[in-house]
């Protein structure tokens, strides 16, 4: 099965959640696990040098994230939306979206853009704006036909949970029973009737690990909707 066969869904439109059952998320993880030895879908040849879209102030001037290499050209754009659009349209091979700041917490707009689709998180970079200053955890985004950078050891998931007592515990229990921890999480309004929220989780597990696939499959039964936002190598492992 080629990489990306289940990469974008089918996903329900925002505002129309559905029960995730076995879920296309589990299918995506199985597709990634079976990618070795299978052809990767055709994609345009990489531009030289590699262009990476980033918003203003996401990195210091002249800093090239080491994960990209010395031939990288940072293309600064005017907003987070512009970074997402440039990568989704193929104008830039990769993009850098700030996901979390040590001073202000999660960057809500970045999480909303990831949930909107068209791109996936394929890597992670922790940036320091100046000595002793704030730290930014950035997500490296790419179109869905690009394999993850490095050896992915984390999964990013978005879950819409029902409004009932214990729903969050029920969703997380399959990961806890298997010793899989949550590295980061945030909550965003689901923008549907009532006070529904969607939760974004980064699970410390390889997507090719059967234990992780089992946990995702079981957790999906507790969710109204479950989306895979990306498979990535954590910044600590990439360093």
CATH number of the domain that 64 lies in?
3.40.190.10
Do 137 and 154 share a structural domain? no
- pLDDT tens by residue, the chain, 239 residues: 222 322 333 333 344 444 433 345 666 666 655 543 433 444 555 666 788 998 886 554 444 555 666 778 888 899 999 999 999 999 999 999 989 988 888 999 999 999 998 999 999 988 776 667 788 888 999 998 888 888 999 999 999 998 889 999 999 999 999 999 999 999 988 877 777 789 999 999 998 889 999 999 999 999 999 999 999 998 876 55
Encode pLDDT of 192-230 as tens digits: 777 778 999 999 999 888 999 999 999 999 999 999 999
3-state secondary structure string across the chain: CCCCCCCCCCCCCCCCCCCCCCHHHHHHHHHHHCCCCCCCCCCCCCCCCEEEEECCCCCCCCCCCCCCCCCEEEEECCCHHHHHHHHHCCCCCEEEEEEEECCCEECHHHHHHHHHCCCEEEEEEEEECCCCCCEEEEEEEECCCCCCCCCCCEEEEEEECCCCCCHHHHHHHHHHHCCCCEEEEEEEECCCCCCCEEEEEEECCCCCCHHHHHHHHHHHCCCCEEEEEEEECCHHHHC
Q: Residue 5: inside a domain, yes or no?
A: no
Do 133 and 62 share a structural domain? yes
Q: Residue 44: inside a domain, yes or no?
A: no
State which residues form the domain around 211. 23-35+150-238
Do 159 and 104 share a structural domain? no
Global pTM value? 0.80
Q: Residue 73: inside a domain, yes or no?
A: yes
């Amino acid at each position: 099965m080629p990489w990306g066969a289940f990469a974008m869904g089918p996903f329900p439109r925002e505002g129309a959640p559905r029960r995730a059952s076995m879920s296309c998320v589990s299918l995506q993880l199985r597709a990634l696990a079976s990618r070795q030895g299978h052809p990767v879908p055709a994609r345009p040849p990489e531009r030289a040098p590699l262009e990476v879209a980033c918003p203003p102030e996401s990195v210091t001037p002249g800093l090239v994230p080491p994960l990209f290499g010395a031939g990288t050209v940072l293309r600064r754009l005017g907003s987070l939306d512009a970074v997402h659009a440039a990568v989704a349209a193929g104008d830039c091979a990769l993009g850098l979206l700030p996901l979390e700041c040590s001073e202000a917490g999660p960057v809500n707009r970045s999480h909303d853009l990831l949930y909107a689709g068209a791109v996936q998180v394929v890597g992670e970079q922790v940036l320091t704006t100046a000595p002793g200053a704030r730290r930014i955890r950035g997500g490296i985004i790419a179109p869905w036909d690009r394999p993850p950078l490095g050896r992915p050891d984390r999964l990013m998931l978005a879950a819409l949970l029902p409004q009932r007592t214990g729903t969050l515990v029920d969703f997380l229990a399959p990961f806890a029973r298997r010793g899989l921890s949550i590295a980061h999480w945030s909550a965003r309004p689901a923008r549907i009737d009532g006070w529904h929220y969607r939760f974004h989780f980064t699970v410390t597990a390889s997507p090719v690990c059967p234990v992780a696939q089992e946990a995702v499959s079981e957790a999906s039964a507790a969710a109204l909707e479950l989306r895979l936002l990306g498979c990535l190598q954590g910044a600590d492992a990439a360093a």
